[in-house]
Every structure is written in C-alpha cells, then in structure tokens.
Amino acid sequence: MASGDAALDWLVELSASIPGWRAGEAARAVAAAAYDLAPNPTIVEVGVFMGRSTFLMAGARRLQGNGQVHCVDPFDCSGDPASVPHYVDVLRKFRGQTLEQVFRSQIKHFKLEGFVTVCKGTSRQIASGWHKPIDLLLLDADHSPDGAREAFESWTPFVKCGGIVALDNTEERVYEPLHDGNYRIAKERLKAPHFENVHRFGNTTFATRL
C-alpha cells in the first residue's frame, strides 16, 4: 500500500470521531478526491455541520501541504424538515455550544486552521459574492428539492472544466419526504453535455464538469 493510501485510510478512521454521516467508501472517496487535486486547489463544501467532511478534505490537503477548503454554512441547524431534528439532537450533546463553535473547535483540535476558511451564511448568500474557480465542490446542505437545486445552480457554474462536483445523499433508497433533492439532481443533471465520469461511492456521487 502506498503511503498516501495509508494516510487516507487513517483520515477516514479519525473522521469518525466527528459527528456526521459520511463514512466508509464515501469518506475514502471524498478524501482521495481532495488529495488527488493539482497543487493549491480551491475546494468548496456547502453544508459542513460539525466538520467531518471538512476534516477529510482539509486533512488530505494538509498531507499535500497546500489548498483551501471554503466552508459554507449558516451554522443554525437549518435545512430540510427530515434533517433538522437530527442536527438539533446531535448539537444538544455539546451542552450549550453553538454549531459554529463545535465546528471551529474540531478544526482547531486537528490543527487544520491553515487549510480551512469559514464562510458563514447560506449557500445563496455566499454564492452571490463568490468569484473563484472551484476544483472540488461538495454539496451537502439543504436536501429538499428546492434547496438542493438552488445550491447546484448557484455553485456549479464556478466549477472549472475538469473540476469535480460531489453530491451527498444520492444512494438508491427510499427517501423521507423533501429529502431527495440531491438524489434527483444526480439522476437528472449529472450527465452529458455538462458532466462526465459519473460514479458513486456509498452515499456520494462524483462527476467531472465538462
């Protein structure tokens, strides 16, 4: 096994200490996608919660010594109606801390501050002032059909040709009402002439922008 492989496996293992939903092959694929980017990449994660995927991507870039993960979240546990109760439940265990405090303390704990930029606000708010081309975009925020569409349409125009879009919550399963936004987008929008090389690992679908 190459040392990069072992290091990514170690990141996946460590990431499980941060509350979140990305695990197994999806976590490994997110870390590898970030690790394999050309030097000094711009990565955007929309919907970061407590930072599990941020850790995977920023950790991968720390191994490479460069790059930045821009983390977009209002840190208010908002989102689709199926998800909000879970966010509130998990946060309650952190005894009075805000979601932003928990996120920042995870990033600090793992010494990733140099690889993470916090963009506090909704997808729409932050996208309206955004201008940088993106190498890797992970969309994992409001999973309602309207919310997912808004994030997809706001952010994918910034993804470079050859850049990667990753959509969480896209596995084949029965979805709770108003929770299948990314699943629908993966089916309907991740295809030619705009995307190629579509493949799914666990709950996360990846595609290359044409």
Task: Give contact residues for ligand SAM (rule: CB under 6 A).
Answer: 20, 22, 45-49, 52-53, 72-74, 76-79, 87, 122-123, 140-142, 147
Torsion of CA 86, 90, 93, 99, to 10 degrees: -120
**Closest among 64, 61, 68, 66 to 42, alpha carbons compared:** 68
Q: How far is the CB of 208 from ligand SAM (least distance, A)?
A: 21
**33/46 with CB nearer ligand SAM:** 46
Q: How far is the CB of 151 from ligand SAM (least distance, A)?
A: 7
Q: How far is the CB of 122 from ligand SAM (least distance, A)?
A: 4
**42/169 with CB nearer ligand SAM:** 169
Strands laid side by side in the 134-139 sheet: 116-120, 68-73, 42-46, 134-139, 159-168, 204-209, 195-201
CB under 8 Å to 202, separation ≥6 — which residues?
22, 23, 24, 25, 26, 27, 29, 171
CB under 8 Å to 95, separation ≥6 — which residues?
none
- The count of residues in the chain is 210
**42/122 with CB nearer ligand SAM:** 122
**132/191 with CB nearer ligand SAM:** 132
Q: How far is the CB of 121 from ligand SAM (least distance, A)?
A: 7
**46/58 with CB nearer ligand SAM:** 46
Q: How far is the CB of 25 from ligand SAM (least distance, A)?
A: 14
